[in-house]
C-alpha cells in the first residue's frame, strides 16, 4: 500500500511539471498572471433569428445612413453582402452572445454570404477570436431608431396642439413634429426627452442621430434645438436653467425629405453621471414658416 501511494505521488508530480510546461508554452506569462478560467472553442451556425439580432446590433454602431441601410439589409436578406460584410457584423453578435468567454476563446461560425465570384449565396465557415470583439460590444449606451414606435422617449408639450408623434414612410420609422397644419403655421413648444442614460461607468460619450429638417428657416435659431441635463425626473417641470443647449449639424434641406447625420455631439461633460437625458426641443411661431423635423437612429456611444 505504501508503494502504491508513493507511485501516485510521483505520477502526480510528473503531471504537474508537464502541465506547467504546457501552460507556459501555450499561455505566455502564465507563471506571472492568472490562469484563463473559461477558454473555449465553439462552433455556431447562424439561424434566421440571429440575422435579426445582428441587424439590430449593427444599427447600434451605425455612424451614417449607409451604415444603417447595411445593417437593416442583414435582417431582410438573412445573408451578408459586400456592403454588409460578415467580418464587420458577426463580431458584434459574438460579443453579445459569449459574454463570459476568456479573450483567447474562438468560435467557428457558419453564415450565409453572397459570394460575388460565384454569383450566389453560399454557406461560409470562418474562425473568430474574441480578442478583437470586446471594445465593440462595450460601445453602445443608448440605441433608439424609432423603427416601430416612440420607444422609451417621452413627448412633453408646453404650448400648442401640434406634438411629437411616430410616423413612417416606405417602412422607415421616425419621430416627427411640425407646427404647420391645414395651411396654417401654429405656435408650439414641444420636447422629446430620452429615458435616463447611465454614464456612471463611462469616461466619455458621444451622441449622433439622423434627421430631416424641411420648410423652416435655413439657419434655425428658434425651432430645432438639442439639450442635455442630469437633473430631470419623469413628469417633472422643464426648467431650461437645468438644461444645457448643445450644438449639432442643422441638416436643412429645402427640396427633399433626406435624412442626414447630426455629426458627433460630445456628452463628455456628463461622463460619470447616471441620470443623463438628452432632449429634442421644437418651437414654432404663428405666421412664420414652420419647420418639419424628423428624428431617427438616436445613438449614444462610448468612443
Whether 84 is covered by a domain: the verdict is yes
Whether 6 is covered by a domain: the verdict is no
152 and 97 both lie in a single domain: no
Whether 11 is covered by a domain: the verdict is no
CATH number of the structural domain spanning residue 272:
2.60.120.200
Say if residue 163's pLDDT is above 90: yes
Pinpoint the alpha helices (H) of 48-200.
48-60, 65-77, 86-97, 134-139
99 and 177 both lie in a single domain: no
Looking at 78, 100, 132, the residue that finishes a domain is 132
Strand boundaries in the chain, DSSP class E: 41-45, 106-115, 120-129, 140-144, 154-159, 165-169, 172-178, 180-181, 184-185, 188-193, 206-214, 224-229, 244-246, 260-261, 265-266, 277-284, 292-301
Q: How many domains does the chain have?
A: 2
57 and 156 both lie in a single domain: no
152 and 171 both lie in a single domain: yes
Whether 5 is covered by a domain: the verdict is no
Range of the domain at 274: 141-301
Whether 9 is covered by a domain: the verdict is no
Say if residue 63's pLDDT is above 80: yes
Specify the pLDDT at position 139.
Answer: 64
Nearest to 260 by CA among 89, 37, 68, 41: 68
Average pLDDT score over residue span 11-39: 42
Note the pLDDT tens digit of each residue in 180-234: 888 888 999 999 999 999 999 888 999 999 999 988 766 665 689 999 999 999 9
Say if residue 254's pLDDT is above 80: no
118 and 173 both lie in a single domain: no
59 and 173 both lie in a single domain: no
187 and 242 both lie in a single domain: yes
Q: How far is CA 68 from the centre of its chain?
A: 11
Q: Work out the pLDDT band at 301, boundaries 50, 70, 90.
A: confident
Say if residue 278's pLDDT is above 70: yes
Specify the pLDDT at position 94.
Answer: 85
Length of the chain: 303
Q: Work out the pLDDT band at 31, boundaries 50, 70, 90.
A: very low
145 and 112 both lie in a single domain: no
Looking at 132, 164, 197, the residue that finishes a domain is 132
User: Whole-angstrom Cα distance, residue 245 to residue 243?
Assistant: 7
Looking at 97, 132, 167, the residue that finishes a domain is 132
- Mean model confidence pLDDT for the chain: 82
Average pLDDT score over residue span 150-154: 96
Whether 163 is covered by a domain: the verdict is yes
207 and 286 both lie in a single domain: yes
179 and 287 both lie in a single domain: yes
Residue showing cell 459570394: 115
Longest dimension (CA), the chain: 104
Whether 100 is covered by a domain: the verdict is yes
Specify the pLDDT at position 261.
Answer: 87
Element holding 139 (H helix, E strand): helix 134-139
51 and 194 both lie in a single domain: no
Whether 7 is covered by a domain: the verdict is no
**Better-scored residue on pLDDT, 167 or 27:** 167
152 and 287 both lie in a single domain: yes
Amino acid at each position: 500500500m505504501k508503494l502504491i501511494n508513493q507511485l501516485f505521488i510521483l505520477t502526480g508530480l510528473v503531471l504537474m511539471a508537464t502541465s506547467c510546461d504546457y501552460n507556459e508554452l501555450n499561455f505566455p506569462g502564465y507563471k506571472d498572471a492568472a490562469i484563463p478560467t473559461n477558454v473555449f472553442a465553439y462552433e455556431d451556425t447562424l439561424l434566421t433569428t440571429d440575422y435579426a439580432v445582428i441587424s439590430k446590433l449593427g444599427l447600434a454602431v451605425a455612424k451614417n445612413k449607409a451604415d444603417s441601410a447595411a445593417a437593416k439589409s442583414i435582417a431582410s436578406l438573412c445573408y451578408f453582402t459586400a456592403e454588409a460584410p460578415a467580418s464587420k457584423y458577426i463580431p458584434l453578435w459574438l460579443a453579445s452572445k459569449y459574454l463570459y468567454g476568456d479573450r483567447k476563446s474562438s468560435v467557428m461560425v457558419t453564415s450565409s454570404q453572397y459570394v460575388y465570384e460565384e454569383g450566389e449565396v453560399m454557406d461560409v465557415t470562418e474562425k473568430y477570436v474574441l480578442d478583437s470583439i470586446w471594445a465593440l460590444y462595450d460601445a453602445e449606451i443608448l440605441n433608439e431608431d424609432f423603427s416601430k414606435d416612440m420607444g422609451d422617449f417621452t413627448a412633453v408639450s408646453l404650448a400648442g396642439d401640434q406634438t411629437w408623434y411616430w410616423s413612417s414612410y416606405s417602412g422607415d420609422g421616425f419621430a416627427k413634429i411640425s407646427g404647420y397644419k391645414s395651411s396654417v403655421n401654429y405656435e408650439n413648444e414641444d420636447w422629446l426627452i430620452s429615458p435616463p442614460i447611465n454614464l456612471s461607468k463611462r469616461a466619455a460619450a458621444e451622441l449622433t442621430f439622423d434627421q430631416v429638417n424641411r420648410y423652416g428657416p435655413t439657419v434655425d435659431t428658434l425651432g430645432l434645438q438639442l439639450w442635455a441635463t442630469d437633473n430631470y425626473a419623469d413628469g417633472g417641470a422643464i426648467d431650461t436653467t437645468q438644461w444645457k443647449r448643445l450644438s449639432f449639424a442643422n441638416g436643412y434641406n429645402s427640396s427633399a425629405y433626406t435624412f442626414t447625420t447630426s455629426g458627433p455631439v460630445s456628452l463628455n461633460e456628463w461622463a460619470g453621471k447616471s441620470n443623463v437625458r438628452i432632449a429634442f426641443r421644437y418651437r414654432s411661431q404663428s405666421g412664420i414658416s414652420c419647420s418639419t423635423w424628423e428624428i431617427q437612429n438616436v445613438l449614444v456611444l462610448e468612443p
